[in-house]
Structure 1
Amino acid sequence: MKQFFKFVFATIVGLALTFVLLIFLLIGIVSVATSDKPVDVPSNSVLRIALTMPINERTPDNPLAGLSFLGFDDNKTIGLNDILANIRKAKTDSHIKGIFLDESYVQSGQATTEEVRNALIDFKKSGKFIVAYSEIYTQSFYYLASVADKVYMNPKGIFELHGFSSQVMFYKGALDKLGIDMQIIKVGTYKSAVEPFFLTKMSDANRLQVNAYLGSMYDHFLTGISQSRHINKDSLANIANNLLVQNPEDAVKYKLLDGLKYKDELLDELKQRTGTSKKSNVKSVNIADYTKAGDDKDTSDNASSRIAIVYASGEISGGEGDDNTIGSEKLSKTLRQVRLDDNVKAVVLRVNSPGGSSLASDVIWREVLLTKKVKPVIVSMGDYAASGGYYIACAADSIYAEPNTVTGSIGIFAMLPNMQKFFNDKLGLTFDGVKTGKFADLGDVSRPLTEEERMILQNQVNRGYDTFTQAVADGRHKTQAYINSIGQGRVWTGSQAIKIGLVDKLGNINDAVKSAAKKANIKTYSIVPYPEQTSKFKNIGKSLSVEVRAAMVKSELGDNYQYYNQVKQTVQRSGVQMRMPYDVVIK
């Protein structure tokens, strides 16, 4: 009995603590949600940009943003949409004297970084200054910072300039040890998303394409720095190839930096630039908070004519999806919504996707095609618009991409594991049963495919590839034979894609908006984002659970989280896939 009361008491205490914890959490969420007051920007301020969080296409509507709790940090996440809008707003804000690019670890794809960099270059046309400072310059942050009027670093800091590399993790050896044979059905010589499951190293074809598009990205990277820092591109390549920068003094010697300063010296320069007395603090506003400072005057909110920006970000699958994945059901509804809205005069489809489900991609493609028949549809490509991501884009009137956008990968594949040896030899499990038809158990992972079954699946994949290449041929006004010749699963950069006709123009999302307005023959319009983001307080419990799990796994795995996430996504995929070879990680 004594033990019984002990457990009852412990349970009551646990429930009480949980209740109190939830109360504090809800108070925090409410305080964050009700803090949307306009931000007052003092005169002679600097806009501080510190990009330490992953950059999504849109600023998430997250009730946990700003909280420091259970592994979360209190940094506010800001999306690319608000970063670009805020830099544009600061250009004409008389209270903002300049931009301070503070220590950043840019966690974004090459094209996203390119959009921010171009926005900073445009900002400089105002005559206002940009100063960059960091203790550690990664290559991504330095590419961004190189546009600044002055680029400084801590005297004891770390400067990286060593070139690009891209690495693939292969699972074949592990699968062999487990007794699992991954059965591959694909179309496309370069469709290498499946290679990690049946090879132990890159195929010659894959190595060829990776060398090509990585070289294209690197050439653009060097060209940008060369133009900003007025350093010969060949000299930059030599500095990187021979790792000539091994300490901060080397970076100054080769004119990659303008000087070495401690933070207090940097702040003194900012005070001088803003006319602030030495005894006062530099007045600054964080770029995330600056969203609430006034309005972006580049849009006419009262205009009856609208340009809809429809965001398609993440892997493509069936269902509703969420803010970071593309659900064919939700995106199809959104496209129908803007198609039927007479106030929407044109559509910009913002694609940032490596692809995914073949069926889901086709469902979305159909809605893009129908929308184009009613009003202009312009595609703006982000970091990726590959495979299924390119499929949903190819029906548009025109396509914009950044020079370092990863696109193409016109190919298709399916994978089915044969786990017979794993079950039999590793676990001692065997299977037996009955069936009413020859193919009733097609897809059963407890046995290998028969030759006849493999042919059935291969024919399905072949039909899918034929549909894909025909859709691209129709959309791009090319022959199917030509699309097949540049398809085969091969990946291209935006710079390469424009030469072979997969992309129309190099440009950012604002260029796509201007093109849409011109094609719709409208001069005054408002820009409206779609689909509507999830409400702050909808599914808080589910959101908290997902966020807590992710935070815990990330804290344990650190940089290795990318490999865990890659394996997890692979296991969750099913059906025929239109997906680029793998996630490109530029180190």
Structure 2
Amino acid sequence: MRQFLKFFLASLLALIVFAVVGVFILAGVVGSVTAKKDVQVGEKAVLFIDLSKPIREQKQENPIADLSSEEQYDAPGLYDMVRLIKYAETDSSIKGIYLKCNDNPNGFATCEEVRNALLEFKKTKKFIYAYGDMMSQKAYYVGNIADKIYCNPKGGLEWKGFSIQYMFFKNALDKLEIDPQIFYAGKFKSATEPFRADKMTDANRLQSQELLNDLYERFLLNTAEQRSVDTASLHKLANDLAIQSTNDAVKYKLLDAGKYDDEVKAELKEKLGVKQENKINFVPIGKYEAAVNFKDGSGSDRIALIYAQGDIVDGKGGEGQIGGEKFRMYLRKVRYDNSVKAVVFRINSGGGSALASENIWREISLVRKVKPVILSFGDYAASGGYYLSCDADSIFAEPNTITGSIGVFSMMPNLSGFFKNKLGVTFDGVKTAEHASVPSISQPLSDIERRFIQNDVDSIYFTFLTRVSDGRGLSFAYTDSIAQGRVWTGSKGKELGLVDRLGNIQDAVDCAARMAKLKEYRVKEYPEPVSFLDKLLSGFQKVTKANTVKEDMIKEEVGEEGYRAYNSLKGIKAMMGMAQAKLPFEMIVE
């Protein structure tokens, strides 16, 4: 027994020592990772912006950057990026901006905000250069504001016009003997079309074409203004597929010249007065964010800026989602915070759960009773994204924001034929009431059950219309006429009364300050940053990394279009049995 106690106490002591040492090591690692870098911009700096990087609404932290052998920094959010470009206007260290223009995965409204910030920067007479090897249309849309825009002589500029293409699953569902059992309100509500038709309905074709025309017209007008080429000529170049090479783009004045990377860098060095053998001091936008204090503000008063991006879901939601419960708590927190004098709610969402949208709408209406609430629309503020917004004091959107889509749908797939005839699986059971098993994927809905669900969808649509009519000061009949699930651009939304003003996040913040009569204030952003230690303890990094790796592997295996189909099918589960206020599947403009 004595020998046992001896070994037990020795092992226990070793375990305690190991735990204490481990805590100190972990604390040291966390401390080194979370410590603020001493970052210097340096002399003759050129702000470097890679348009191929996704720009989210809120800053994306990279807490392990300090442990990497490569230079890595956080990814600024859209509002951060715009403010950084603004700050660079008066920063004597920054001599100009270099845009890397290959691809651009960002939405049109995001591109518009960045583009407008760059146009303001140009007024300082500092230079902007843009360069790409293979330049996409959306990358060109931002890059064409540059003083000089170059492309690899053996690369090229994409110039073919815009398109929207939907994927339809009806024939596949028929072959698999799956009945999607769809219910919807709004003749333009096309979110369920991929499952109930094998091609676009006339209503969807009409709204999609008009939406696309609006986006394309703005693209051509802004390009024409910068490149001094009329829009008719630009449109003809796309129709004729006249731009097949960099030389063609130069010939038709879309580009300034075809140059290799080293030639562009040599020109920049000469402009900066840097010796050819020396490197250019390129400062990535993330590094610049870490080096300068670009966020203005003073005083004790606050304007709350709440970022909401992603699908609207019930509950708390996950990363990249707008959880109804979580955002309800944010709004409740700022409502009771006496230091917060106004709220700007930034929404970038194609919608989702109708109930979660209603809950967020309710909280916004409560906040509005005690302080001003301004809505700022990003790439999307449609369906549920518009639902929760419509009771604001003022709504701002970009001209190419996609908004509207005021409609509702629900879907309850019946897989009984698939299970029985394809897999040999059948179902049986007992219940205490005739309809106790509804909803179920193992049996078709009866006529009374179908009427019950359709009535529910119609009731939610009626509530949606009422919210918009009351919030926007429009008649019910008029709201219904511009609703029906139809999507609009921000500029059309303003004409129709769905939007108050065309403008960016800063315009919305300025409006909030005016309404609250604030001369001095600070902007308080939500969701608040989560500490690296909290992320470690919750397993956040592990889960996020695992999900990212899994999605990257799927995308690599099935390709871009296959991945879209995968996401569309994956989205069916979330929609089953729940009323949805959501945009059509994967409205990708290319």
The residue correspondences of 1:489-568 to structure 2 (distance < 5 A) are 489-537=485-533, 538=535, 539=539, 540-560=541-561, 561-568=563-570
SS of match in other structure, 1:562:
helix
SS of match in other structure, 2:123:
helix
- Using structure 2 for the length normalisation, give the TM-score: 0.91
Q: Is the counterpart of residue 576 in structure 1 residue 579 in structure 2?
A: yes
What displacement does 1:59 show? 1.8
Partner of 1:52: 52
Letter in 1 for 2:294: D
| Contact 1:356 1:577 (C-alpha < 8 Å) held by counterparts | yes
The residue correspondences of 1:107-118 to structure 2 (distance < 5 A) are 107-118=105-116
The separation in 2 between residues aligned to 1:363 and 1:552, in whole angstroms, is 36
Assess, with a 3 A threshold, how the Cα gap between structure 1 residues 369 and 250 changes in structure 2: closer, same or farther. Answer: same
The separation in 1 between residues aligned to 2:505 and 2:271, in whole angstroms, is 32
The separation in 2 between residues aligned to 1:144 and 1:89, in whole angstroms, is 19
| Contact 2:104 2:139 (C-alpha < 8 Å) held by counterparts | yes
The residue correspondences of 1:86-101 to structure 2 (distance < 5 A) are 86-101=84-99
The separation in 2 between residues aligned to 1:562 and 1:33, in whole angstroms, is 36
Assess, with a 3 A threshold, how the Cα gap between structure 1 residues 364 and 269 changes in structure 2: closer, same or farther. Answer: same
SS of match in other structure, 1:249:
helix
The separation in 2 between residues aligned to 1:487 and 1:103, in whole angstroms, is 38
What displacement does 1:573 show? 2.8
1:281-305 deviation digits (Å, cap 9, x = unpaired): 11121111110112115x21x4211
Partner of 1:11: none
SS of match in other structure, 1:153:
strand
Assess, with a 3 A threshold, how the Cα gap between structure 1 residues 254 and 321 changes in structure 2: closer, same or farther. Answer: same
Most deviating of 407-416 and 546-555: 546-555
| Contact 1:61 1:534 (C-alpha < 8 Å) held by counterparts | no
The residue correspondences of 1:225-240 to structure 2 (distance < 5 A) are 225-240=223-238
Partner of 2:177: 179
Assess, with a 3 A threshold, how the Cα gap between structure 1 residues 121 and 195 changes in structure 2: closer, same or farther. Answer: same
SS of match in other structure, 2:271:
helix
What displacement does 1:541 show? 3.0
Letter in 2 for 1:541: K
| Contact 2:301 2:340 (C-alpha < 8 Å) held by counterparts | yes
Partner of 1:124: 122
Q: Percent identity between the aligned chains?
A: 49
Partner of 1:586: 589
| Contact 1:193 1:580 (C-alpha < 8 Å) held by counterparts | yes
Partner of 1:158: 156
Assess, with a 3 A threshold, how the Cα gap between structure 1 residues 67 and 491 changes in structure 2: closer, same or farther. Answer: farther
What displacement does 1:230 show? 1.6
Partner of 1:448: 444
1:445-492 deviation digits (Å, cap 9, x = unpaired): 111111100000011111100100000000000111111110000000
Unaligned runs of 5+ in 2: 1-25
Partner of 2:17: none
SS of match in other structure, 1:418:
coil
What displacement does 1:363 show? 0.4
What displacement does 1:74 show? 6.8
What displacement does 1:401 show? 0.5
CA RMSD of aligned residues (A): 2.3
What displacement does 1:54 show? 1.9
The separation in 1 between residues aligned to 2:170 and 2:29, in whole angstroms, is 46
The separation in 1 between residues aligned to 2:66 and 2:219, in whole angstroms, is 34
What displacement does 1:408 show? 0.3
| Contact 1:161 1:240 (C-alpha < 8 Å) held by counterparts | yes
Letter in 2 for 1:582: F
Task: Give 2:214's match in structure 1, choosing from 192, 213, 216.
Answer: 216
Partner of 2:477: 481
Letter in 2 for 1:485: S
The separation in 2 between residues aligned to 1:448 and 1:314, in whole angstroms, is 32
| Contact 1:38 1:294 (C-alpha < 8 Å) held by counterparts | no
The separation in 2 between residues aligned to 1:105 and 1:74, in whole angstroms, is 21
- Using structure 1 for the length normalisation, give the TM-score: 0.92
| Contact 2:353 2:580 (C-alpha < 8 Å) held by counterparts | yes
Partner of 1:343: 339
The separation in 2 between residues aligned to 1:36 and 1:260, in whole angstroms, is 41
SS of match in other structure, 2:375:
strand
Q: Aligned pairs, how many? A: 561
The separation in 2 between residues aligned to 1:121 and 1:448, in whole angstroms, is 58
| Contact 2:347 2:377 (C-alpha < 8 Å) held by counterparts | yes
Unaligned runs of 5+ in 1: 1-25
Letter in 2 for 1:54: P
What displacement does 1:88 show? 1.4
The separation in 1 between residues aligned to 2:180 and 2:498, in whole angstroms, is 32
Most deviating of 469-478 and 74-83: 74-83
Most deviating of 433-442 and 201-210: 433-442
The separation in 1 between residues aligned to 2:488 and 2:365, in whole angstroms, is 24
